[in-house]
Chains A and B, each alone.
Chain A
């Protein structure tokens, strides 16, 4: 074991020191002199969150299979360690070697949510890497970003040397080879960036110039040197069962958020919910083979010793072999005393039966995500379910013995009226009534029905039909939550309904960053310098500092949030392609205003554009 980067005294003073020691089961130690490339893969949040992320484990496993690469992990030091590292000038380190991040050739940062942007700066800062790509020298690692937020990388464009757009499994090998080749011929950092910009899916921000109109919108966005593509298309895995998938994930010493085996059964989603970004970014849906998943489930359980397994995908009910897979897992897991944590499934005979086999009806709850209360709004967002579906599902759950129902809704959806909000309360109440109707008095052995209704505030995201939509103001959010609370109180079964809502401040910030442009880089840096960090954590989130920073940088936040974009506006992310084209999204936006629903990919192809990849459901349909 290597010397630890932190002294014993420091480790004994901070919370959960095991976060910082590395050395976990299945972590990979290599001889640094025997590899050509050292890659620091970073999740810019605390260890327990980062280690729960499947994508990070996939890249880690895949890179370490390459003989010439050593991949190590980096996370944000928690708020108790951060000031100590600054005080003592301790550089941020990689867990495996415990050596400074600066020793790496690449620092790859996975960017899963907007609220981690200041943590990216924390990681760079503590590593001793200049925050801005333009200030970095030959000895600094190449800072590369990946993950869903890179589909609008512009607010953080200045902090990255490059972004990898799309699924990580496909192009890193080529990128590494380009890097090695460049080193061999003694090429500079700039030389490498130029060559990398030629690799499919790689976006190097400094090779693009943006000009703005008087009103602040984009006038032009174009490469500033020859040989750099004007449009960057995402990378996509064609055959998921043939692609790399983890077999020996790192098993953390501390209890992390996902302390279990995670089996990704498919990627993408057939549904076209108009608010959902992931549903568009990962099109078309591609399934993994049943046999592959069966084999991998057992391998992963054997190699980790985890006592629980869960399935991951955007909409697991749509996986075509779900019944066979779940039956297999129930059998296997029973004999191994492993728990199965089922994803939230559409309620039908099969899922009720499966759920009652793996969880205690008395203790567990059933989840529905109608997302909107009224049928009109559900059509606007293209949710594709009706009240009848929901009530029928709830009834089945009640008849099988469940009494706890969790409901998820959004407030602030485009075109929402007061009645739509009140319908959330009405639907919650109808579900309660369904219980009293379905379960006779003498059968209510598990107690009366309990309904937990939660709302989050809608934030429009790039590459969705709602990318043109205005976001609600903070005040309007608060008012809507109040309207709903009052409406819940008016219901017959109000005592059985518990209503929770999310914070409004963070939704506004998320909205600014999600559809932001390069002009935001300064404000993000300023917010970080003022002390913003761990914005995803309510205890550490400082709305006042953020608003101060926007103010001082002359940023009008309504430009990013409440403004309705015109149909011909050039968006900061328009130069990227996730397959789904802007014309399709525009049509969807207009259809949503008419309350017109669009069929899902399994029912009928709507020609979104992702068919050009010639994979997954798009070719299944035509053949």
Chain B
């Protein structure tokens, strides 16, 4: 039986990186005595997959992982036992049983919502104004590190170390006040948009440089489905 777990992560635990957090969750599952299924072999692994990686420093209201269990009393019982053994700042928000053949969390992610909040003070008013200007453009070009080339050791500075992409079509919603920028963006593996790149484009519009460390990023939820479709986007636990 497959379960989908929705969790939130706030406060100091945001400094735990993705790999460590996966390991943290595996230990929670053992402590909570969830009857999770294991892979076979000499070093068995829990059958578990996270929908999206969460970068160091990013908080979340809605991230997901799928697990496979052999048995359980109820989804509520799984949720309660997990919450009993969570560290401060991490909470299981929901546990749902998945129907057979539901695509796994990782492959079904299509979008994610983010709040970008200045850690101190507010956004400058010209930056807030620039938001609509940027969104009104035909294209929004951002620079990304060429990770593939870098991994292979084939990145050459000034030649292929940076790739420029147009993220315009991958931004579904975006609004900005002096207190926060909210955006709903593509989070699929093909077209994933890093929200700070969008904010960076807005800063550049008015000739400012963004220091990413000034901004607290909070993922508000993770969605599946197609934006603008009949059913539209639905949170991963509403499938």
Contact = CB atoms under 8 A, between A and B. Distances in A.
A4 B88 CA distance: 13
Interface in B92-145: 119
A9 B213 contact: yes
A567 interface: no
B150 interface: no
Interface string A397-411: 000000000000000
Which of B27, B38, B44 has the largest count of A CB atoms less than 10 A from its CB?
B27
Interface of B: 11-13, 15-17, 19-21, 23-24, 26-31, 33, 38, 41-44, 46, 56-57, 85, 87-89, 119, 213
Given A253-B20, A302-B33, A360-B42, 12 more contacts: A1-B88, A8-B213, A17-B56, A21-B12, A23-B12, A23-B89, A25-B27, A25-B85, A253-B16, A254-B17, A301-B30, A307-B26
Contacts of B28: 305
Contacts of B57: 8, 11-12
Contacts of A12: 56-57, 213
17 contacts: A12-B57, A17-B56, A18-B15, A18-B16, A18-B17, A18-B20, A23-B12, A23-B87, A23-B89, A25-B87, A253-B87, A255-B20, A304-B27, A305-B29, A305-B85, A307-B27, A339-B44
B15 to A, nearest CB: 4
Given A17-B15, A251-B27, A337-B38, A1 B89 contact: yes
A256 to B, nearest CB: 10
Which of A23, A25, A253, A254 has the largest count of B CB atoms less than 10 A from its CB?
A253
Interface of A: 1, 4, 8-9, 11-13, 16-18, 20-25, 251, 253-255, 259, 301-307, 336-337, 339, 358-360, 363
A330 B28 CA distance: 22
A306 B42 CA distance: 16
Contacts of B24: 253
Given A12-B57, A302-B31, A255 B12 contact: no
A363 B42 CA distance: 10
Contacts of A337: 38, 44, 46
Nearest to A16: B17
A12 to B, nearest CB: 5
Nearest to A27: B87
Given A12-B56, A18-B16, A255-B20, A303 B89 contact: no
A259 B24 CA distance: 11
A247 B113 CA distance: 42
A12 B12 CA distance: 11
Which of A17, A23, A251, A305 has the largest count of B CB atoms less than 10 A from its CB?
A305
A23 B26 contact: no
Contact of A24 (B29, B38, B56, B87): B87
B89 A359 contact: no
A23 B27 contact: no
Contacts of B89: 1, 23
Nearest to A11: B15
B27 A255 contact: no
5 residue pairs, one from A and one from B, having the closest CB atoms: A305-B27, A305-B30, A305-B31, A17-B15, A337-B44
Contacts of A304: 27, 31
A12 B16 CA distance: 11
A155 B33 CA distance: 50
A305 B26 contact: yes
A359 B42 contact: yes
A148 B78 CA distance: 45
A24 B88 CA distance: 9
A303 B85 CA distance: 10
Contacts of A336: 30
A575 B41 CA distance: 54
A18 B88 CA distance: 13
Contacts of A251: 27
Contacts of A4: 12
Contact of B20 (A1, A11, A20, A254): A254
Contact of B119 (A8, A18, A358): A8
A339 B20 contact: no
Contacts of A20: 15
Nearest to B119: A8
Contacts of A16: 17
A24 B46 CA distance: 22
Contact of A1 (B11, B19, B29, B33): B11
A358 to B, nearest CB: 8
Nearest to A2: B12
A21 B90 CA distance: 14
A307 B15 contact: no
A48 B13 CA distance: 17
A304 B31 CA distance: 6
A66 to B, nearest CB: 24
B31 A303 contact: yes
A365 B21 CA distance: 30
A302 B81 CA distance: 13
B16 to A, nearest CB: 5
Which of B12, B17, B27, B41 has the largest count of A CB atoms less than 10 A from its CB?
B12
Contact of B12 (A1, A13, A259, A307): A1
Nearest to A302: B31
Contacts of A360: 41-42
A310 to B, nearest CB: 14
Contacts of A21: 12-13, 15
A21 B28 CA distance: 19
Contacts of B20: 18, 253-255
Which of A8, A303, A363 has the largest count of B CB atoms less than 10 A from its CB?
A8
B65 to A, nearest CB: 16
A1 B90 CA distance: 12
A81 to B, nearest CB: 13
